[in-house]
């Protein structure tokens, strides 16, 4: 077992152990952080490894969340198939958006993804009769049961979040260590040269968008199930910015970075909320300081300073 | 009101919106054209202009016309200075890398927005217009007795709205004169065409960038100052101008000032007209999707010549 695999298994084991010792408040925060870290890990596949900066990932999160929530609320689909439907919705959306948006590059790509995401938000508002618009809707506790387990209870919720987190963490680790993953990195480093070496750049990029969108959809669906709320705010611009921030903070292009960034940012906002209600100020300052002084993030800087094996 | 007068009214309202949008979008287009960076905080400079205009009229007091003139001069200047400082402190240090600039300006967006929330508060506040005479407009009808002229109830425009249109026109012409006829414009165009060669010819590129960034923000602030007597100042008002300016700059062709003006008038007018007759959410959604599609299938914009 290599150091890299050991480190990630160690993180997973530590999070499992923390379940039994954390006080109630931090227990709840960590469950939320793990789900959001899945969102960030999905974002990282595109941004960190393939070099595609999207400003519209809220749409995938929201597609997963609404796919799951509407299936349960409108058509009385049971939880597990509804969850899968949410993921399928995000997968389809990512496929369509990928095919269209990948015709552009650079700044145009960012703006196109931003606009597709904004259109989804406006569509959610427009079809308010079904989606309940701005207000969103809650999922009753009775709906959030699976195989006799109550997903609204703190302990099962933590386990469910941990399970999803572990699967995605090991999945992205396997992806970036695979041949396909290496091609993604090659595209990030030099697209022309990768094409010249005979790789189908467009197909690999599309794969990255679809994998990324699907993971983010899973995060959205899980968030809806575990915390019982589906709302339009999750499809708005800040939720496209958050994963970017978390990934940048933790270290783009590192497997563990998104989790570190999410954890760090959650507690930073938590601590600052004692000082001010305007928590987005902390987000703004963090973004500016990161681009200025720590462009490679926490884990990226560690990798630069000796931990070369960090995937 | 009949359809005809109603349409004329919608077009006049659209023209006022288009004027403000032209100024805001010109600012964004100028920054993109010369510096090749996208300023995501542009909408917040717009908002800052509106909020500062409120502060200034509040502090100056006296007759509304005097306070408003002071605001019209000072607010864009202040916003421009703030933007130039932000450029000098942040963007210059990351060497105008396109992606990092976007992230940094997103950061600026939230900093400006939240600082405004903390100081100015969550309320929307109006600024008194300097003059506001209601001017009734005539309408023609072809009846049995030939052409008739009458004055439909409700068909009117205020003198202030006419002033907004006029001021935007004047600013646009002044900007064109500077860009096309002055030495400063020459320097700006040189920097736009080739940064390195311009530098080799002694153009202080870094200072030019700070100036352009400030000028772009000042144009947005000017548009906002003009609009506060019609629309109130609020800390979240920057979102719509940002999105609309993006749309305008893309449709007009990235970096083309002439295209920006044409697109701003087109989009401002149609936005005004559509939102009078249709649900605004649906209109916005379709417009956003349409623009995304334009960018996907025609990345150089409708009027741009070179691929972006």
Local confidence band at A212 (pLDDT 50, 70, 90 cut-offs): very high
Percent pLDDT > 90 in chain A is 26
Give CA–CA dist A103/B61, Å, rounded.
Answer: 54
ipTM confidence score: 0.78
Out of A10-14, A228-232, B110-114, give the one with best mean pLDDT. B110-114
Cβ pair B103:A108 closer than 8 A: no
User: Which of A102, A105, A108, A289 has the highest number of chain B CBs within 10 A, making it the mutation to test binding with B?
Assistant: A108
Phi, then psi, of A278 in degrees rounded to 5: -80, 70
Q: Is the pLDDT of residue B2 over 50?
A: yes
CA distance A36 to chain B (A): 20
Distance, in Å, from the CA atom of B113 to the CA atom of B50, rounded to the nearest integer, reads 12
Q: Which B-chain residues 266-305 have CB contacts (< 8 A) with chain A?
A: 279, 281-282, 284-285, 288-289, 291-293, 295-297, 299
pLDDT at A126 over 90: no
pLDDT at A226 over 80: yes
What mean pLDDT, rounded, does chain A reach?
86
- Which has the closest alpha carbon to A80: A221, A274, A260, A254? A221
Per-residue pLDDT for B53 more than 90?
Answer: yes
Chain B closest-CA separation from residue A133 CA (Å): 11
* 3-class SS of residue B129: coil
Question: Tokens standing for B260?
Answer: 């920006």
The arithmetic mean of pLDDT across residues B57-76, rounded, is: 88
Q: Which residues of A fall within a CB distance of 8 Å from B111?
A: 281, 284-285, 288
Give the pLDDT band (50/70/90) at residue A1: low
> CB–CB of A287 and B94 under 8 A?
no
Q: What are the residue boundaries of the structural domains of chain A, listed by start? A: 3-236
Interface contact B285-A122, CB threshold 8 A? yes
Nearest-Cα distance to chain B for A102, in Å, is: 8
For the cut 60, the answer to whether the pLDDT of residue B306 exceeds it is no
Cα separation, B247 vs B266, whole angstroms = 11
Q: Which residue has the tokens 């249109």?
A: B165
pLDDT, average across residues A205-220? 94
Mutate to test the interface with B, among A242, A288, A297 (most CBs of B within 10 A): A288
Cross-chain Cβ contact B279/A126 below 8 Å: yes
Cβ distance of A288 and B104 shorter than 8 Å: yes
Distance in Å, alpha carbon of B203 to nearest chain A alpha carbon: 26
Residue with the larger pLDDT of the pair B147 and A208: A208
Mean pLDDT of A156-165: 89
- Asked if the Cβ–Cβ distance from A281 to B115 is below 8 Å, we say yes
| Set of chain B residues whose Cβ sits within 8 Å of the Cβ of A284 | 106-114
B window 220-249, beta carbon within 8 A of A: 239, 243, 246
Q: What is the pLDDT confidence band of residue B26, given thresholds at 50, 70 and 90?
A: very high
CATH number of B3-297: 1.10.3470
Q: Which residues pair with A275 in a beta bridge?
A: none
Are A123 and B279 contacting, i.e. CB atoms less than 8 angstroms apart?
no
Per-residue pLDDT, B65: 85
pLDDT tens for B181-200 read 999 999 988 888 888 888 88
Of A53, A126, A281, which is closest to B111 when you measure between CB atoms?
A: A281
In this structure, the number of other CB atoms found within 10 A of the CB of residue A110 comes to: 23
pLDDT band at B304 (very low <50, low <70, confident <90, very high): low
List pLDDT tens digits, range B262-292. 888 888 887 777 777 777 778 778 878 887 8
Q: Taking CB atoms and an 8 Å limit, are B281 and A119 in contact across chains?
A: no
Work out the number of other CB atoms within 10 angstroms of the CB of residue B27.
34
Interface test with chain B among A51, A97, A278, A289, by most B beta carbons within 10 Å: A278
What local confidence, expressed as pLDDT, does residue A72 receive? 86
Q: Which residues, listed in sequence order, are joined to residue B150 by a DSSP beta bridge? A: B139
Of these ranges, A19-23, A47-51, B246-250, the one predicted with the greatest mean pLDDT is: A47-51
Question: CB contact, 8 Å: B98 with chain A?
Answer: yes
Q: Could you say which of A53, A111, A126 has the minimum Cβ distance to residue B281?
A: A126
Cα B306 versus chain centre, distance: 24
In Å, how far is B194's CA from the nearest CA of chain A?
A: 19
Mean pLDDT, residues B196-220 = 91
pLDDT at position B46 over 90: yes
pLDDT at B307 over 50: no
Q: Using the beta-carbon criterion (under 8 Å), do A287 and B113 form an inter-chain contact?
A: no
Q: In the predicted model, is pLDDT for residue B308 greater than 80? A: no
């Amino acid at each position: 077992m290599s150091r890299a695999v050991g480190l990630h298994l160690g993180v997973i084991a530590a999070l499992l152990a923390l379940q039994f010792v954390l006080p109630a408040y931090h227990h709840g925060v960590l469950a939320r952080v793990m789900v959001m870290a899945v969102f960030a890990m999905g974002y990282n596949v595109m941004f960190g490894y393939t070099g595609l900066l999207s400003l519209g990932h809220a749409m995938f999160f929201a597609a997963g969340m609404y796919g799951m929530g509407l299936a349960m609320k409108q058509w009385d689909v049971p939880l597990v198939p509804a969850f899968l439907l949410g993921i399928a919705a995000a997968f389809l959306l990512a496929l369509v958006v990928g095919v269209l948006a990948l015709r552009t590059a650079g700044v145009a790509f960012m703006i196109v993804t931003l606009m597709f995401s904004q259109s989804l938000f406006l569509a959610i508002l427009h079809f308010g009769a079904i989606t309940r618009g701005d207000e969103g809707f809650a999922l009753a506790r009775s709906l959030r049961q699976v195989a006799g387990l109550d997903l609204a209870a703190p302990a099962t919720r933590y386990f469910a979040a941990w399970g999803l987190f572990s699967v995605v963490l090991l999945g992205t680790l396997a992806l970036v260590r695979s041949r396909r993953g290496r091609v993604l990195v090659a595209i990030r480093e030099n697209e022309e040269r990768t094409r010249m070496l005979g790789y189908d750049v467009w197909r690999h990029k599309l794969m990255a968008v679809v994998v990324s969108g699907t993971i983010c959809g899973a995060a959205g669906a899980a968030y809806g199930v575990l915390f019982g709320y589906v709302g339009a705010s999750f499809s708005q611009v800040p939720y496209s910015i958050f994963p970017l921030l978390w990934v940048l903070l933790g270290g783009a292009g590192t497997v563990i970075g998104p989790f570190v960034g999410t954890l760090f940012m959650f507690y930073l906002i938590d601590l600052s909320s004692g000082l001010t209600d305007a928590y987005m100020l902390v987000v703004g300052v963090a973004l500016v300081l990161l681009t200025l002084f720590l462009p490679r993030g926490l884990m990226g800087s560690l990798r630069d300073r000796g931990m070369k094996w960090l995937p | 009101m009949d359809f005809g007068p109603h349409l004329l009214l919608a077009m006049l309202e659209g023209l006022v919106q288009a004027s403000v949008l032209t100024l805001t979008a010109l600012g964004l287009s100028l920054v993109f054209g010369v510096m090749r960076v996208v300023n995501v905080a542009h909408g917040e400079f717009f908002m800052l202009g509106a909020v500062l205009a409120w502060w200034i009229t509040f502090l100056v007091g006296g007759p509304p016309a005097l306070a408003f003139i002071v605001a019209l001069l000072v607010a864009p200047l202040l916003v421009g200075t703030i933007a130039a400082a932000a450029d000098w402190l942040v963007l210059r240090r990351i060497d105008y890398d396109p992606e990092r600039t976007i992230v940094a300006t997103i950061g600026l967006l939230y900093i400006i927005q939240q600082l405004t929330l903390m100081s100015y508060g969550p309320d929307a506040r109006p600024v008194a217009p300097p003059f506001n005479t209601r001017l009734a407009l005539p309408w023609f009808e072809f009846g049995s007795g030939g052409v008739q002229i009458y004055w439909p109830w409700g068909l009117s425009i205020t003198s202030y709205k006419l002033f907004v249109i006029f001021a935007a026109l004047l600013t646009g012409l002044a900007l064109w004169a500077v860009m096309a006829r002055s030495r400063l414009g020459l320097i700006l165009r040189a920097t736009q065409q080739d940064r390195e060669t311009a530098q080799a010819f002694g153009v202080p590129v870094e200072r030019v960038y700070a100036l352009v960034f400030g000028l772009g923000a000042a144009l947005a602030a000017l548009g906002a100052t003009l609009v506060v007597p019609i629309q109130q100042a609020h800390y979240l008002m920057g979102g719509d101008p940002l999105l609309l300016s993006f749309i305008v700059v893309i449709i007009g062709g990235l970096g083309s000032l002439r295209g920006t003006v044409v697109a701003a008038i087109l989009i401002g007018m149609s936005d005004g007209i559509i939102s009078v007759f249709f649900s605004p959410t649906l209109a916005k959604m379709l417009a956003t999707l349409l623009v995304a599609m334009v960018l996907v299938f025609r990345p150089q914009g409708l009027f741009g010549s070179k691929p972006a």
